[in-house]
Amino acid sequence: MASEKERATPSRKSKASKSKDSILKQKSPAEFFSENKNIAGFDNPGKSLYTTVRELVENALDSAESIAKLPVIEVTIEEISKSKFNSMIGLLDRERLDEELYGDYETEKAREKRLAKEAREQEKQAKAAAAGKKVKDSNAVKLGKGRGEALFYKVTCKDNGRGMPNDDIPNMLGRVLSGTKYGLKQTRGKFGLGAKMALIWSKMSTGLPIDIWSATRGQSFISYCRLDINIHKNVPNVHIHEKRSNEEGWHGAEIQVTIEGNWTTYRSKIINYMRQMAVITPYAQFLFRFVAATPDKNISIRFARRTNVMPPAPAETKYHPSAVDLLLIKRLIAETLKQNLLQFLQHEFTSISKFYAERLIGEMGPEFTPKMPVKSLTAQQLVRIHQLFRQAKFGEPTGECLSPAGEYNLRLGIMKELHPDMVATYQGSVQVFEGHPFLVEAGLSLGGRDVKPGLNIFRFANRIPLLFEQGGDVVTRTATKRINWNSYKINQVQDKIGVFVSIVSTKIPFKGTGKEYIGDDIKEIASAVKSAIQQCCIQLKSKIVRQQQAHDRQQRKRNLSKYIPDVSRAIYGVLMEMADGQKSKKVKYDDDADDLLKKVALHQITESTFIQKLGQHVEQVDAEMALEYATQSGMVDTAREPIYLRTLESDYKFALELHNPVCVMKLFSDF
Partner 1 sequence: MNVPFTHFYGSCLALAFAGYKDGILVDKQEEFQVLALHHPLGFSCRVSILLLMADKRKRATAENDSDEDDNGEQPMEAPRKQAQAALAFRKRLKPDNAILATVRKIADSAKSYKPQTQSLADLNLPNACKEVVDLSCASVMAEIEKTIINIARSILGGNGFGYSVPSRSSANQLYVQELDRIVLKDKASFRPFANMASVRKTTITTRILQLVHQLCKKQIHVTKRDLFYTDVKLFQEQGQSDSVLDDVSCMLGCTRSSLNVVASEKGVVVGRLVFVEDGDRIDCTKMGVGGKAIPPNIDKVKDMESDALFILLVEKDAAFMRLAEDRFYNRFPCVIITAKGQPDVATRLFLKKMKTDLKLPVLGLVDSDPYGLKILSVYMSGSKNMSYDSSNLTTPDIKWLGVRPSDLNKYKIPEQCRLPMTDQDIKTGKDLLEEDFIKKDPNWHKELEVMVKTKEKAEIQALSSFGFQYLSEVYLPMKLQERDWI
**Residues in the site for partner 1, rule: CB under 8 A?**
552, 555-556, 559-560, 563, 566-567, 570-571, 573-575, 577-578, 589, 592-593, 596, 605, 609-610, 613-614, 616-618, 620-622
Tell the smallest beta-carbon distance from residue 29 to partner 1 (Å): 51
Return the bridge partners of 423, or none: 445
Tell the smallest beta-carbon distance from residue 615 to partner 1 (Å): 10
Tell the smallest beta-carbon distance from residue 555 to partner 1 (Å): 8
Nearer to partner 1, 431 or 582 (CB): 582
Q: 616 to each of 131, 572, 604, 624, how far by Cα in Å?
A: 55, 18, 19, 12
Q: How far is Cα 150 from Cα 146, in angstroms, rounded to an integer?
A: 9
Nearer to partner 1, 8 or 560 (CB): 560
Nearer to partner 1, 138 or 548 (CB): 548
Q: How far is Cα 505 from Cα 430, in angstroms, rounded to an integer?
A: 9
Helix (H, G, I), strand (E, B) or coil at 133: coil
> Residue 465 in contact with residue 458, Cβ under 8 Å?
yes
Residue 154 has φ and ψ, to the nearest 5°, of -105, 115
Measured distance between the N- and C-terminal CA atoms of the chain, rounded to whole angstroms: 65
Tell the smallest beta-carbon distance from residue 603 to partner 1 (Å): 15
Nearer to partner 1, 523 or 617 (CB): 617
Tell the smallest beta-carbon distance from residue 580 to partner 1 (Å): 10
Task: Give the 3-state secondary structure percentages of the chain, helix then strand then coil, rounded to 5.
Answer: 45, 20, 35
Residue 602's Cβ-count burial label (10 Å; 0-12, 13-18, 19+) is exposed
Nearer to partner 1, 322 or 568 (CB): 568
Residue 519's Cβ-count burial label (10 Å; 0-12, 13-18, 19+) is middle
> Residue 498 in contact with residue 456, Cβ under 8 Å?
yes
Nearer to partner 1, 318 or 556 (CB): 556
Nearer to partner 1, 391 or 584 (CB): 584
Q: How far is Cα 153 from Cα 155, in angstroms, rounded to an integer?
A: 6
Tell the smallest beta-carbon distance from residue 567 to partner 1 (Å): 5
Measured in whole angstroms, the distance separating CA 121 from the mean position of its chain's CA atoms is 42
- Decide the pairing of beta strands 454-461 and 210-215: unpaired
Helix (H) or strand (E) holding 344: helix 341-348
> Residue 131 in contact with residue 49, Cβ under 8 Å?
no
Tell the smallest beta-carbon distance from residue 566 to partner 1 (Å): 5
Tell the smallest beta-carbon distance from residue 560 to partner 1 (Å): 5
Nearer to partner 1, 311 or 615 (CB): 615
